[in-house]
């Protein structure tokens, strides 16, 4: 059940969440007592998590924005400091 | 006769003298409040004194609105203003334009009072401090949009974890600064992805930390939903903001470092973890391999083939009652074995598996789950076939109580035809063979398996 939920949400996970999930899988694998199928399943999930982490690291834009209050509420605009 | 002056004329002259006298205008004065009242109009009327003298003061609402503390009798204050003469009443007073608590550094009476109060409330307790997130989605920054603070934070974060940065521009000193800081903290708290807030002073006078000592700012930091790092940047004297914040940084750069982790460290950590996974997996497969080695050795298909051939040849030469079923079965199994044997090609399969193991060993370097999956499929198939083959081993048939018969030439005997009383034969059983002679032959048709 939980597995399913995680599987579905890897893409939506924050870096910290996926890293924590990855650490748990490593512990699970290291604890041993798993058969090959279970191990492979965990392995597959771990690779997905690792790839997600890498994606966040490599692809996420380092957005720098400034909050501006307007009549319609608060909005974000790109911000570049004066150099 | 000297010219007579009216009171009005006199007072007007005094006013003129006072108004033009630079020495008593734009004066900064240190004094103690001896009494103070606040009128409903918002103006303050107070008496300032020192050990010898006393002066009446006015502190009008527009100026008093900038007060950052609550003035009380007995407080030492620093006031800026000048002499002011009221001609109608002939009274001289000091008109205050701004007033600050006066004391050793920030340890003024007002600040001491506020500090003591907040301390008692437990706002500075260590237990209140929250851990900073290590991988924040976005870092909120409350500071001036033009100072070095925001630049330093952007530059530092850029070299580290790719968090977003969201600036809530705020006034960090002067009139309205506390309100502006509070608004910034609250605004960033309303942003879902902001996991930590840096409140930075940056720029401006090194002296004016007053906004960061104001109660509203301290309370805003204390009630922030996400952890706050204070980077007010005053190493010698911490502000109350520094004390109430979850973490305190001496510089904005340090604050940014505290909120993020070095990207190379993160990458190393990831590699370390995936390496651990690969090693665990390798050891699981190695374990499987050693379990597999037992049936594998026992089977040794080359030996089995030789055995089969040998007994197959003997069987061809023998014939005895009851032998037909055994021999037919053996033939059948033999052919199936050959098919399987050819399909399996143990040598090739073993090489292939060896290749996979080599591939798996390198998995820790760069993992490829499809290789591992194929290896697993292959291993499983091999194991399955080994078990099948083991089931077809002719010796197993003998184990079950069957025996087979060969004639004198060593050919398997599968039929009674051609046998007569006195024919010699060899009957092979599980644990040996017997030489036998036929006593009598009875033929009763073919029996299908």
Residues in chain B: 449
- Contact check, Cβ <8 Å, A67/B166: yes
Nearest to B267 by CA among B277, B275, B259: B275
d(CA B328, CA B330): 5
Closest alpha carbon to B420 in B446, B438, B443 = B438
Please give the Cα distance from B387 to B24 (Å, whole number): 110
Residue A13 in domain: yes
Say if the Cβ atoms of A63 and B164 lie within 8 Å.
yes
Instruction: Count the Cβ atoms, other than its own, within 10 Å of residue B163.
Output: 26
Number of compact structural domains in chain A: 1
d(CA B418, CA B318): 10
Burial class (CB in 10 A: 0-12, 13-18, 19+), B103: middle
Q: What is the pLDDT of residue B411?
A: 80
DSSP state, residue B269: H
Domain membership of residue A25 (yes or no) is: yes
Domain annotation covers residue A70: yes
Best of B145, B274, B275, B290 to mutate (most A CBs within 10 Å, chain A): B274
User: Which of A49, A62, A68, A78 should one mutate to test binding to chain B, selecting the residue with the greatest count of B CBs within 10 A?
Assistant: A62
Residue A55 lies inside a defined structural domain of this protein: yes
Alpha helices in chain A (DSSP H): 2-9, 15-31, 36-59
Distance of CA B267 to the CA centre of its chain: 12
- For residue B74, the model assigns a pLDDT of 86
Nearest to A62 among B164, B266, B367 (CB): B164
Q: Look up tokens 């004391």; give the residue.
A: B103
Q: How many CA atoms lie within 13 A of B146 on its CB side?
A: 4
Pick the residue from chain A with its C-alpha nearest to B285: A36
Evaluate whether B143 touches B187 at the Cβ level (below 8 Å).
Answer: no
**Which residues in chain A have Cβ-Cβ distances shorter than 8 Å to B200?**
none
Place of tokens 């771990």: A46
Provide the residue range defining the domain that includes A59. 2-78
In chain B, what residues touch A65 (CB-CB under 8 Å)?
164-167
8 A C-beta contact, residue B219 and residue B179: no
Q: Inform me whether the C-beta atom of residue A30 falls under 8 Å from chain B C-beta atoms.
A: yes
CB contact under 8 A, B161 and A15: yes
SS3 assignment, position B195:
strand
Q: Which two tokens stand for residue A24?
A: 């748990």
Distance of CA A16 to the CA centre of its chain: 6
Closest CA to B92 of B102, B82, B101: B82
Residue B41 in tokens: 């109009």
Q: Which residues of B262-286 are buried (b: 16+ CB within 10 A; e: fewer)?
A: eeeebeeebeebbebbbebbbebbe
B/e letters for B383-410, b = 16+ CB within 10 Å, e = fewer, are eebbeebeebbbeebbeeebbbbbbeee
Instruction: Name the nearest CA neighbour of B340 among B301, B366, B373.
Output: B301
Reported ipTM exceeds the 0.85 cut: no
Q: Give just the sign of the alpha carbon dihedral B438, B439, B441, B442.
A: negative
B383 vs B350: CA distance, rounded Å? 12
- Calculate the CA B360 to chain-centre distance: 29
Contact A29 B276 (CB under 8 A): yes
Kindly report the average pLDDT of chain A as a whole number: 79
Asked if residue A8 has pLDDT above 90, the reply is no
Contact predicate A28/A13, CB 8 Å? no
Give the other-Cβ count within 10 Å of B298's Cβ. Answer: 13
A20 touches chain B (CB under 8 A): no
Residue B268: closest C-alpha in chain A: A54
pLDDT score at B366:
47
Q: 3-state DSSP call for residue B194?
A: strand
**C-beta atoms of A67 and B277 within 8 A:** no
> Which class for B26: exposed (0-12), middle (13-18), buried (19 or more C-beta within 10 A)?
exposed
Tens digit of each residue's pLDDT, chain B (449 residues) = 678 899 999 999 999 999 888 889 888 888 999 999 999 998 999 999 988 899 999 999 988 888 878 888 888 888 999 999 999 999 999 999 988 887 654 446 677 778 888 989 999 999 999 999 888 989 999 998 988 889 999 999 988 888 899 999 998 888 888 999 999 999 999 999 999 999 988 644 545 678 888 899 999 999 999 999 998 865 566 788 999 999 998 888 999 999 998 888 888 888 888 888 777 777 777 776 676 665 555 555 555 555 556 555 555 544 443 445 555 555 555 565 555 555 555 555 555 555 555 555 554 444 455 555 555 666 666 666 656 555 556 566 677 677 778 888 778 787 887 788 888 888 888 788 888 888 888 877 654 44
Rounded Cα distance between B299 and B355, Å, is 21
pTM across the whole model = 0.52
User: Which residues from chain B sit within 8 angstroms of residue A75, using beta carbons?
Assistant: none
Q: Which residues of A touch B133 (CB under 8 A)?
A: 16
pLDDT tens profile A38-70: 877 888 888 888 888 888 887 766 788 899 887
| Host H or E run for residue A70 | strand A64-70
Chain A, residues 55-74, CB within 8 A of chain B, namely: 56-57, 60-67, 69, 74
CB-CB under 8 Å, B167 with A67: yes
Q: Which of B183, B273, B357, B381 to mutate to test the interface with A (most CBs of A within 10 A)?
A: B273
Give the three-class secondary structure for A80. Answer: coil
Q: Do B187 and A67 touch (CB under 8 A)?
A: yes
* Phi, psi at B46, each rounded to 5°: -145, 165
- The answer to whether A36 contacts B285, with C-beta atoms less than 8 Å apart, is yes
Q: Would you state the pLDDT for residue B13?
A: 93
Question: Quick one: pLDDT at residue B349?
Answer: 53
Looking at per-residue pLDDT, the higher value among A24 and B141 belongs to: B141
CB contact under 8 A, A47 and B274: yes
Contact B145 A79 (CB under 8 A): yes
Closest Cα partner for A42 from B61, B261, B239, B274? B274
Do the Cβ atoms of A56 and A15 come closer than 8 Å? Answer: yes
For the stretch B423-447, pLDDT in tens is: 888 888 878 888 888 888 887 765 4
- Nearest-Cα distance to chain B for A1, in Å, is 23
pLDDT digits (tens, 9 = 90+) for B84-99: 999 999 999 999 998 8
- Residue-level pLDDT at B296: 57
Radius of gyration of chain A (CA): 19
Cβ–Cβ of A32/B376 closer than 8 Å?
Answer: no
Q: Do A67 and B150 touch (CB under 8 A)?
A: no
């Amino acid at each position: 059940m939980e597995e399913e939920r995680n599987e579905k949400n890897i893409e939506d996970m924050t870096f910290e969440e996926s890293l924590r999930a990855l650490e748990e899988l490593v512990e699970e694998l290291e604890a041993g007592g798993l058969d090959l199928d279970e191990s492979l399943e965990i392995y597959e999930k771990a690779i997905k998590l690792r790839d997600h982490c890498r994606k966040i690291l490599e692809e996420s834009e380092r957005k720098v924005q400034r909050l501006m209050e307007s009549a319609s509420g608060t909005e974000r605009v790109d911000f570049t400091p004066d150099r | 006769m000297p010219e007579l002056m009216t009171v009005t004329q006199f007072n007007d002259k005094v006013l003129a003298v006072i108004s033009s006298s630079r020495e008593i205008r734009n004066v900064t004065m240190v004094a103690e409040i001896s009494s103070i009242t606040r009128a409903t109009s918002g103006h303050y009327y107070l008496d300032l004194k020192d050990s010898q003298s006393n002066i009446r003061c006015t502190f009008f609402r527009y100026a008093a609105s900038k007060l950052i503390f609550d003035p009380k009798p007995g407080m030492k204050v620093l006031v800026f203003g000048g002499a002011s003469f009221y001609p109608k009443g002939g009274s001289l007073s000091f008109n205050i334009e701004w007033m600050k608590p006066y004391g050793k550094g920030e340890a003024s009476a007002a600040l001491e009072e506020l500090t003591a109060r907040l301390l008692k409330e437990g706002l500075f307790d260590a237990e209140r401090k929250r851990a900073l997130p290590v991988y924040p989605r976005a870092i909120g920054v409350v500071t001036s949009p033009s100072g070095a603070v925001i630049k330093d934070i952007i530059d530092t974060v850029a070299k580290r974890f790719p968090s977003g940065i969201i600036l809530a521009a705020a006034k960090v000193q002067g009139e309205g600064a506390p309100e502006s800081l509070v608004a910034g903290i609250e605004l960033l708290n309303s942003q879902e992805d902001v996991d930590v807030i840096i409140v930075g002073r940056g720029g401006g006078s090194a002296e004016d930390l007053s906004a960061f000592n104001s109660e509203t700012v301290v309370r805003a930091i204390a009630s922030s939903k996400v952890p706050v790092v204070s980077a007010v940047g005053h190493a010698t004297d911490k502000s109350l903001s520094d004390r109430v914040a979850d973490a305190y940084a001496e510089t904005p750069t340090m604050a940014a470092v505290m909120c993020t982790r070095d990207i190379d460290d993160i990458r190393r950590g990831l590699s370390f973890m995936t390496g651990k996974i690969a090693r665990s997996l390798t050891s699981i497969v190695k374990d499987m391999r050693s379990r597999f080695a037992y049936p594998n050795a026992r089977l040794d298909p080359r030996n089995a083939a030789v055995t089969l051939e040998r007994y197959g040849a003997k069987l061809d030469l023998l014939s005895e009652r009851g032998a037909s079923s055994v021999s037919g079965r053996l033939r059948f199994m033999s052919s199936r074995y050959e098919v399987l044997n050819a399909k399996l090609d143990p040598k090739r399969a073993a090489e292939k598996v060896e290749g996979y193991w080599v591939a798996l060993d390198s998995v820790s370097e760069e993992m490829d789950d499809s290789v591992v999956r194929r290896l697993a499929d292959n291993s499983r198939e091999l194991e399955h076939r080994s078990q099948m083959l083991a089931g077809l081993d002719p010796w197993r048939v003998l184990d079950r109580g069957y025996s087979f018969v060969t004639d004198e030439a060593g050919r398997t005997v599968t039929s009674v035809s051609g046998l007569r009383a006195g024919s010699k034969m060899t009957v092979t059983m599980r644990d040996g063979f017997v030489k036998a002679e036929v006593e009598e032959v009875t033929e009763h048709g073919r029996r299908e398996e």
